[in-house]
Structure 1
């Protein structure tokens, strides 16, 4: 299907990855992004082996690895600093060929954009309509003009307007019960480890170390949706200031204006399909999940490679989309369920007895067993792109 065309709605990680994959198989691609300026909002991200393998297939894996820091040391702790589980990044690397890598989101976005033709990205443009105009053509309205293509990729995030048009009976995203504040430190710090999570009653604090010495931190709290603070950094110092080092130091190294605050939503009701007509849903638009497994972006990258590979080999777009849905929907929805369960047994636990039982179970779990649990999600092998 060389010479075919696609419109990708959404210029986030999943949308850019899908555009790269389609471009690599010979398609003409236009990415429509409603943001008028690409500020690369977000803090940091961890990429597991499955996401990195997808990036390798897209041709950007080496560049991403060179800009990222491997997570070899760290683990999960209690607020006083006691270890519940230690990370063995070297064992994980031996098992799957790579450690988990930490990278600023802005860097990942830039590397993905740089892999596309300069004229492929239309910013400040909202896709405000979607119409199947013939058996082989889809029309996307955007800011008074129309784009026609053989395929539309809906990668417009958790609040996807495209998903709403395609599945109007679906209830849409649901609040997870948790809200997250995050930032990148203003200057280099020494957090002591590459990656950590600390679990307290209904709260989590974690960090990711970057190659330039700075670190991303995040704080997750069980709070009603819409809760906001007049001084977020001061509120976090109040809640986490007595937790173990380096948590107070990470907060002290952060500019107050750098703190981002978002409620965590998910698609708790699974979609009946990841496709409709000549439209494929991808990333958060298809399977928005809680961040408790660090798999949201990795699943979007898997989606992108799987979609491109199907379109490269299937005889028709319809056959390719059927294959994409059969491959991606069971896995994406299973990972979303696992992420939800991980949150309930991790950060969201608040009852002292339940926390004590969980902590004891974690301390007694052998490191090999913990590695095997991780491999359930990381040990994914991408289809080849020609």
Structure 2
């Protein structure tokens, strides 16, 4: 059985960001990823000011800012009700939002890590406590086993590490989203803004990435069994999306029609209820979680990736105080547990507020009852009167 000090399960944004945060604090870690290469599902993500602050602490912000992504300062919402067009306009964030290709972000994080940090082909099956050492043992599909001093689960919505922590399974909103890119060789001419358009049971969004590339999504509050079965057939996803947007304005129909089919990604929208985040246990021994494994939320605020980057910085800071430069490794087990508890305390309040706002927004988007819509709107106005306040959050120094 192989033995390691700090193991991070999952090589997505949370896993790579956490490893980089630890590296910058002088703590060596190993990232075990089930795929054969760095994952980049989801096409793109919005990076809000709070996400940029985290990226600055991780040392990759300047590199990513050179990607020519368009700063988006305005949010415009267009919706049709009883045949009438309504529009609201406001700031997208306290500062600008940038839409980045997910593979550019994970590539920047991966390239900043020491060579050999990421190991591929590690499909985790289970995690257990070694009765002799009281440290966790990880078992993988190919029969390999690893005993680690510290384990950080960044393994997404179906997290094996979350199961080990006895967290409840994530829940489904009962909806799906399609995401993709459309290229405009001569320029798209769209304003630098985040735009959403809602008509009946379809919600679409558009974010310019560069002057020639647009990221878009289509959200289906209700979907059939047939639709759920085509999630891996990109041609079928394209046809489904064309059909669902046939009544939208021409520029939206053309955007979907001319998309890069190979970029299409369809997924079920799942979440971890905010009340579980408020009272859940996120540590067992020297094991914890970060990113979606901890606080999976819907895409309605575009904060999933930013929150994962915040996790990385906070966890790196907390562990760095106990295990960083100048400390002997492995430390006393209690020191690791104290560091993780500090991380959990700091993150719980933040992700509870985010998850609550996302949960209420998601319920509002999918609500069919007029009474339910009014109640949800009132709750959002009372609890989140400043609906972009979350973009001003500062996770602090690493």
SS in 2 for 1:199: strand
SS in 2 for 1:118: coil
Superposition deviation, residue 240 in structure 1: 1.3
Superposition deviation, residue 135 in structure 1: 5.7
Superposition deviation, residue 265 in structure 1: 1.0
State TM-score, norm by structure 2: 0.83
How many residues align structurally?
Answer: 365
**Distance verdict in 2 for CA 1:21–1:257, change over 3 Å:** closer
SS in 1 for 2:388: helix
Separation of aligned partners in 2, 1:74 and 1:311: 37
Separation of aligned partners in 1, 2:39 and 2:397: 32
Equivalent residue in structure 2 for 1:374, among 378, 388, 398 = 388
Superposition pairs of residues 148-167 of structure 1, within 5 angstroms: 148-167=147-166
State TM-score, norm by structure 1: 0.85
**Distance verdict in 2 for CA 1:191–1:245, change over 3 Å:** farther
Residue 336 (structure 1) aligns with = 355
Mind listing any 5+ residue stretches in structure 1 that lack a counterpart? none
Equivalent residue in structure 2 for 1:141, among 121, 127, 139 = 139
**Distance verdict in 2 for CA 1:243–1:128, change over 3 Å:** same
Separation of aligned partners in 2, 1:175 and 1:353: 22
Mind listing any 5+ residue stretches in structure 2 that lack a counterpart? 324-334
Residue 120 (structure 1) aligns with = 117
CA RMSD of aligned residues (A): 2.9
**Distance verdict in 2 for CA 1:240–1:87, change over 3 Å:** same
Equivalent residue in structure 1 for 2:97, among 90, 100, 107 = 100
**Distance verdict in 2 for CA 1:200–1:52, change over 3 Å:** same
Q: Determine whether 1:25 maps to 2:15.
A: no
Superposition deviation, residue 136 in structure 1: 7.1
Separation of aligned partners in 1, 2:237 and 2:322: 51
Which stretch shifts more, 223-232 or 48-57?
A: 223-232
In the TM superposition, what whole-angstrom CA distance separates every residue of 1:58-111 from its partner, at most 9, and x where no partner exists? 11122222223211244111258945321335xx4xxx4x31111111111111
Q: Determine whether 1:176 maps to 2:142.
A: no
Q: Contact 1:174 / 1:265 at 8 angstroms: preserved in 2?
A: yes
Residue 14 (structure 2) aligns with = 14
Separation of aligned partners in 2, 1:63 and 1:371: 35
In the TM superposition, what whole-angstrom CA distance separates every residue of 1:210-247 from its partner, at most 9, and x where no partner exists? 12511111000122475345733233222212212531
